[in-house]
Amino acid sequence: MYVKRVKRQLSEWADAGLLPPETAAVLARDLDSRASRIGIAQVLLVLAGIFLCVAFLLLVSANWELIPRIVRLGAVVALIWATHLAGALFIRAGRTTLGTAALLLGTACFGGGLSLAGQMYHISGDMVSMFTVWFLAAALTSVLFRSGAVAVAAGFVSMALCWSLIDVSGGTITSGNLWVPPALAVAMALLAWLSGQEKVAHFSFLLLIGWAVWLYGENDTVFVAAVFVALGFAIFTALALKGSPFARCGEALGGAPMIYALVLSAIGLFLLHISLQGGGLVGAAVVGLGLSVAALALAGSEHGGVRWLCYAMIGAIVFYLWMETVGSILGTSGFFLVAALVAGALAFAIVRLEKRLAGPRKRTSP
């Protein structure tokens, strides 16, 4: 969809005389060469590798007692080495899809082998230890082969590791629950950089948001929800302001950090709305509408994800407030009047701020 939109804009610029047709054609061909096209054959090939691994592990499990112990362990180890070696050979030969399928198969075999070896030798341990070793192995494979698919697999394993931590602790807050999810988020960000796959960094933000929601579940107070709103919007503002030193960090990942920061703020607003009643509910709605308008003014024109998220926030706030105040037309009209004044004042202030920030850059430009 992105490639089609850019190619349509190139065609419009060429028709308007803003761009030579030859240059537009060259740029369109360059877009086609850069586009990562994943066909149904490639997807089925990767799925075939995963299903083959599952079939092998199920076969070994079904005939567990009939196979000698040394043969079981040797078969699992041999399969892990064979798949990784095949992946390396395929990638070296330019068969990237086959190499990716082999590496995914090897990563899945490694996790299954850990489980089977633990059962076979009655190794003491838990799911946390297994997922930790599995994550480290998947991360190492992703870095060595610069494989984005294996990095995605490592991201899912990291989520399973966090879930196992919560399950083992019974949902209570422990030292491990407090530091492991943020540490995994940092590790996934580092893995995205080392593997050359920026999209893998999405797992970092998902881990942090899931961790924050879990913390609220353990301490569901209005104060924590308000902290989510303030912290999320503060991070969003720091990333969205053109003069901010953090703006380049946000742009390096395509604006994803801004969207996730705004999602955190939206989660806090949702929690405030379901926790407050009466005047507090109206106040939370006014704050939510003001923040949505401010986010639109800061980054809505440049980032479509931010724009649609703000539209969704405004629609959800208005709909929820209407449901809560139905039957009180005076109260609803008063809310819209206050919301309009707050939103207008915020928009005016942000426009002035943008002009003030843009002024020095224009004067210093040659």
Q: What is the DSSP string of 144-175?
A: HHT-HHHHHHHHHHHHHHHHHHHHHTTT---H
**Torsion sign across C-alpha atoms 86, 89, 91, 93:** negative
**Token reading at 342:** 């707050």
Mean pLDDT (the chain, rounded):
77
- Residue of 335 and 25 predicted with greater confidence: 25
Q: Is residue 257 part of a domain?
A: yes
Nearest to 335 by CA among 313, 320, 351, 350: 320
pLDDT in tens, 19-58: 788 887 887 777 666 545 445 555 666 666 667 666 666 6
Report if residue 271 sits inside a domain. Answer: yes
Q: Is residue 286 part of a domain?
A: yes
Segment 147-175 shows an average pLDDT of 84
Per-residue pLDDT, 100? 83
Per the domain annotation, does 23 fall within a domain? no
Does 250 fall in a domain?
A: yes
Q: Span 78-95, mean pLDDT?
A: 86
Per-residue confidence band for 366, with pLDDT thresholds at 50, 70 and 90: very low
pLDDT of residue 355: 65
pLDDT at 228: 92
DSSP class of residue 16 equals T
Checking if the pLDDT of 127 tops 60, the result is yes
Give how many domains the chain has, as a whole number: 1
Lowest mean pLDDT among 38-42, 63-67, 147-151, 182-186: 38-42
pLDDT attached to residue 1: 44
Q: What is the pTM of this model?
A: 0.73
Query: What integer pLDDT is reported at residue 362 of this predicted model?
Result: 44
Q: How far is CA 254 from CA 127, 189, 194, 201, 249, in A?
A: 35, 14, 18, 11, 9
Spell out the residues 6+ positions from residue 5 whose beta carbon is closer than 8 angstroms to its own: none
- Does residue 312 lie within any of the structural domains? yes
**Residue range(s) defining the domain that contains residue 250:** 220-354
Rounded to whole angstroms, how far apart are CA atoms 155 and 204?
Answer: 8
- Residues with Cβ within 8 Å of residue 110, at least 6 apart in sequence: 80, 134, 137, 138
Given a contact cutoff of 8 angstroms between Cβ atoms, the answer to whether 201 and 190 are in contact is: no
User: What is the average pLDDT across 337-345?
Assistant: 66
Is residue 90 included in any domain, yes or no? no
The mean pLDDT value for 143-155 works out to 86
Give 328's DSSP letter: -
Q: Is residue 237 part of a domain?
A: yes
- Summarised one tens digit per residue, pLDDT across range 261-303 is 899 999 999 988 888 776 677 788 888 888 888 888 887 777 7
Q: Map residue 306 onto helix, strand or coil.
A: helix
